[in-house]
Amino acid sequence: MSKLTIYAKILSVQDFGIYSWVLSGYMFVMYAGSFGLNDALVKQGSIAFGKGEPEGTQELYGLAVLYSTFGVFIIASTTLVFAFLYAEDASVKQAFILMGILAFGTLEFNLVNSYLRVNHKFVTLSFMLFIKSGLVVLLAWYFAPRFGVNGVVILETAIFLLLAGTVLYFNRPNFDFKKILKGHVFFKKTIKHGMPIMVASVIRNLTLNLDRWVMIGSLGVIALAKYAFAMIFYQAGMVGISFISTILGTRWLADYGRDASLDAMISKITQIMVVGSITALLVAWPVLTLISYVVELHYENYAGEDFNLTMVFIYFGVVFLTLSSLVDWLFIASSNEKILLKISLYSLAITIFLMVYCYLEAEKIYIYALVFLAVRVFNFTFSLICISRLLATKTVKNSV
């Protein structure tokens, strides 16, 4: 949140729009080249940790590093070639170059992140994340005004790689690269676990970012910058979701690896959902009022009635997104990732339909935020329906 707020202040509106574009696209380069191995590391590694098999997480990490790094390099290079061959706008070429750079640095950082998570080294992980955020925020004051969007993306990538390398030096996994290269069965088995989760994530992120791409085509980069500024609140929500996936999710999977009790997992998640929903409703008005006041006082280029309405829709959209992310762990633990994929596909179809309308008719950014809310409500509702059916099927099988 601090980073994006600072970037909005010290970057030009044009550069902030390009940066938002890069953020909405780099992850697809990373996903396409990773083969779902990072997701498999989180799932299978957590279960292996719960079973007391640490060597399993080390081999999974080695596999993910070897193949994902190569895959992202190939995808990024291919994307750049197409951008230079067919894109005429210089800002488009610039955005795709920065996407490739950021995708590579983020991949290596995320793999180390996942390795620490599945081994429950949360103190080291917290220190790593804190240093990353602190360095980016502090150094951005120097790099952003002087080098613009190019400078901040290269800065972030350099910090990602530096921290990943430093943490690995003190937490070296023990695996044999030669053995991993020859382990084609292990590779296929791991992809089988990680690919459905990754594809669901890709589709979900496509659903989340499609509005930004449509907005560029219909309203321009400046409108995207204003929408992205309002979506800083979405980044705040991602803090909570990251906490869930970083600590709670991996612990739930480890517990499930020990006792195989989905009911116990449901009980824990339900408690968090109830408390979180009540808290979100109670603080909604004061939080939204405070944000509106701060924006009018310090960010007059972004303020206005459109922004206020956009914030309301994004706030409640983030609430439903967080609730959905909690339910997702039930599908992952029970190896029903295909349900996640189905939900993501339905959400994408709805988003595409609504984005066609926005492209043709919408002239205000709050319409895009309303679509964001509507799709998140659908996701959560459909997830609850699927969980109910899953539990009903489980009950029938147990009774038989």
Predicted local distance difference test score (pLDDT) of residue 309? 86
- Ranges of residues in the chain with a pLDDT under 70 are 1, 53-56, 87, 174-187, 193-194, 208, 240, 244-247, 259-260, 394-400
**Which tokens hold the place of 96?**
């795709």
Task: Give the Cα separation of 57 and 62 in Å (integer).
Answer: 9
Q: Give the helix ranges, DSSP H, for 119-220.
A: 122-170, 177-182, 184-218
Q: Contact 368/227 with Cβ under 8 angstroms?
A: yes
Report pLDDT for 54: 66
Q: Are 255 and 46 in contact (CB under 8 A)?
A: no
Per the document, the length of the chain is: 400
Closest CA to 126 of 163, 94, 91: 163
The pLDDT assigned to 115 comes to 81
Taking the C-alpha atoms of residue 53 and residue 44, their distance in angstroms, rounded to an integer, is: 11
Alpha carbon distance 188, 192 (integer Å)? 6
Q: How far apart are CA 12 and CA 33, in angstroms?
A: 32
CA–CA dist 12, 9 (Å, integer): 8
Contact 265, 329 (CB under 8 A): yes
CA–CA gap between residue 51 and residue 210 (Å, rounded): 40
pLDDT digits (tens, 9 = 90+) for 359-369: 877 778 888 88
DSSP result, 222-279: HHHHHHHHHTHHHHHHHHHHHHIIIIIHHHHHHHHHHH--HHHHHHHHHHHHHHHHHH
Please name the residues in contact with 349: beta carbons below 8 A apart, sequence gap of 6 or more: none
pTM score > 0.85 for this model? Answer: no
Alpha carbon of residue 122 to chain centroid:
19
Read off the pLDDT of residues 132-148 as tens digits, 9 standing for 90 and up.
Answer: 888 888 888 888 788 88
Contacts of 94 (CB under 8 A, 6+ apart): 18, 149, 150
Gap between the Cα atoms of 52 and 254, Å rounded: 10
Q: Give the pLDDT confidence score for residue 400 in this predicted structure.
A: 43
Distance from C-alpha of 272 to C-alpha of 172, rounded to nearest angstrom: 35
Angle (deg, nearest 10), helices 305-333 and 249-259: 20
Residue 399 neighbours by CB under 8 Å, 6+ apart? none
Distance, in Å, from the CA atom of 127 to the CA atom of 360, rounded to the nearest integer, reads 47
Per-residue model confidence (pLDDT) at position 316: 92
The CA-based angle 80-81-86, given to 5 degrees, is: 100
CA–CA–CA angle 242, 20, 375 (5° rounding):
60
Looking at this protein, which amino acid is placed at residue 396?
Answer: V
Say if residues 157 and 104 touch (Cβ distance below 8 Å): yes
**pLDDT at residue 359, rounded to an integer:** 80
Which strand (E) or helix (H) includes residue 323? helix 305-333
Nearest CA among 215, 234, 225 for reference residue 299? 225
Of the candidates 6, 295, 244, 19, the residue with the CA atom closest to the CA atom of residue 135: 6
Two structure tokens written together for 13? 């509106």
